[in-house]
Chains A and B, each alone.
Chain A
Amino acid sequence: MQRYILMRVAQSVLTLLILTVIVFSLARIAGDPLDVLLPLEATVQDAERLRAEWGLDRPLYVQYFTFLGNALTGDFGESLRVRGRTAMSLVLERLPNTAALAGVAVVVATAIAVPIGVLSAVKKDTPFDYVGKAIALFGQSLPAFWLGLMLMWVFAAQLGWFPVSGKEQGVLSYILPAIAIGWFQVAALMRLVRSSMLDVLDSEYVKLARIKGVVEWKVIWKHCLRNAAIAPFTYFALIIGSLMVGSVSIEFVFAWPGVGRLAVDAANTKDFPVVQAVVITFCMVYIVANLLVDIAYAYVDPRIRFD
């Protein structure tokens, strides 16, 4: 077990390192970073002074290690757009908003997906199952950003039930963006719950429970669902990745003051320090989450760690 954890940790660190190399070299591939970082009105002298100050006249590998060292302490420099703020402080300020929205999205997705998944497994090949299949198919075909816009059109702009954008109106503000982000997860999670429920429904201990005379709803919601939940459990690690993707486009749609929108704005205004800060932070969250789930999973299922 220790060996497995050690291996996974090493692998995660390696992934992060490679990511920093990619981010670092992309900034350099684009040409002289000063072209990106300097304001238009800067003179040649300004450029030379900054070059020396930022160490851009030193060899690339030295620059990379400086970048890495700073990144480790969360220092990506000052934002180019918002004067006087460090890139990291902008990210940290908005992270709670993103996390809250993602959390609500997961709850919404689970609340919709698990009952439908269980029902379509228990009532396999009945209309319930077909409805479930249709939902899954549509869920994976709808682009999240477009769904968000359409929800906004119908429920905010036309009916006026929810605010069009922002998060000023408390709970109401969360509903539309959370549905838009969670919709894709509903489809995937539902299929997962359905297939693992089907496996479990077939098993000996479920037959035993039924023979013992346990009530049917208890068999399904307690005996089966608990065991069927293991596979969807790992899925939550994968969800984090697509939640981040979702948060980027949906926060943009609903003008949500989160990290995703910050990243889009920063990318479009060439605010490179902020983009770097967002990307490294997001990836770290993603990789650490994956690591934790893998370890937890290995703990639950011994077959994995001896693989």
Chain B
Amino acid sequence: MATENRVATPSAIEELAVESSARPSFLGRFWAEARRYPLFPIVLLLVVLVIPAIFSDIIAPHSATTGSLSARLQPPFWMEGGDTNHLLGTDRVGRDILSRIMHGARVSVTIAAVAIFIAGVLGTSLGIIAGYWGGWVDALVMRLVDISLSIPIILLALVIVAATQPSILNVIVVLVLLMWSRYARLVRGETLAVRVQDFISRAQVAGSSHRRIMFRHVFPNVFNSVIVLATLNVGFVIVLEATLSFLAVGIPPPQPAWGLMVADGRVLIASAQGWWVSLFPGLAIMLVVLCMNLLGDWLRDRLDPKQRQV
């Protein structure tokens, strides 16, 4: 396929040549550099997700959990009855929607990062071990993977919540249980391919321990795929966490989680009283997921062309 080796297309080489010989202006060089990266998703992610997540305490104009009852259900500033004090309006107890979205970004980022990290480490380790050792270890891990993939996870979340209470820990447990198998399956497949290559048998001949081979020789070779999968997973995890919170089996209120905020406005939508309570947090979810998917696709093309779909 022509698109797959675009790194070395004549035009790209030409571009490089032009760049080095003609010495374009600073702005030109900046633009040429910038075009190689998916600017749009990165900038949008920074604005919607990363900056609010880190600096929500400083930049959020109002508190996330306490509102003023005199300012209940104010519409966004451009509508009649709204003012610029609450740019995106307020919810039923007078909390500022914009501030809650900013604080909610931190909740989403933290949960996604923690859950993906644990699932990634667990799945990658098991995948390498299964692929490297083969035999009954492999069979056992792969059966567990099959089982994990065939349990509808949202139902598991319902059981966990029915048995305990909604909590952040529960959400993370559910997400890890859901995701580890994807990493394990991917990494195991890649390990099988790496294991038969010459440098592995040479490492064995040179007397490397199994653990050293797995860490120093197999792991770096599967790392790119894991990073790509993790990036592509972020959006998925954020949607899932929001769904759980929306169903009141995820993050417990009054935490400013995006899914909870959408749920807050559910009754208002049905009775046509205030659409903004549900609309804006949902938009935040959508934008973040969209950008993460774009970024993931870009990363996959860069790091791991094998995974690319047609």
Contact = CB atoms under 8 A, between A and B. Distances in A.
A248 B289 contact: no
Contact of A267 (B143, B158, B269, B271): B158
Interface stretch (B69-77, B95-103, B214-222, B245-253): B245-253
A27 to B, nearest CB: 6
Nearest to A245: B154
Contact of A149 (B156, B161, B243, B265): B265
**Residue with the greatest number of chain A CB neighbours at <10 A, chosen from B242, B270, B282:** B270
B146 interface: yes
Interface string A279-307: 10011001100100000000000000000
A264 B143 CA distance: 30
Contact of B246 (A11, A145, A198): A145
A26 B270 CA distance: 35
A42 interface: no
Contacts of B152: 241, 244-245, 282-283, 286
Interface stretch (B124-132, B194-202, B272-280): B272-280
Given A264-B248, A279-B156, A140 B293 contact: yes
A15 B269 contact: no
Given A253-B266, A282-B152, A266 B162 contact: yes
A145 B249 contact: no
A149 B266 contact: yes
Interface in B13-71: none
Interface residues of B, number: 45
Contacts of A209: none
Main secondary structure of the interface of A (DSSP, over half): helix
Contacts of A279: 155-156, 158-159
B228 interface: no
B151 interface: yes
Contact of A249 (B156, B159, B246, B286): B246
Contacts of A290: 150
A158 B275 CA distance: 10
A252 B285 contact: no
A30 B164 contact: yes
Interface in A183-216: 191, 194-195, 198-199
Given A153-B269, A191-B309, A253-B266, A15 B159 contact: no
A91 interface: no
Interface in A27-43: 27, 29-30, 36
B310 interface: yes
Interface in B110-148: 143, 146-147
A165 B270 CA distance: 8
B151 A11 contact: no
B262 interface: yes
Given A19-B147, A146-B262, A275-B158, 9 more contacts: A157-B269, A244-B152, A244-B155, A245-B243, A252-B246, A263-B155, A268-B248, A275-B159, A283-B151
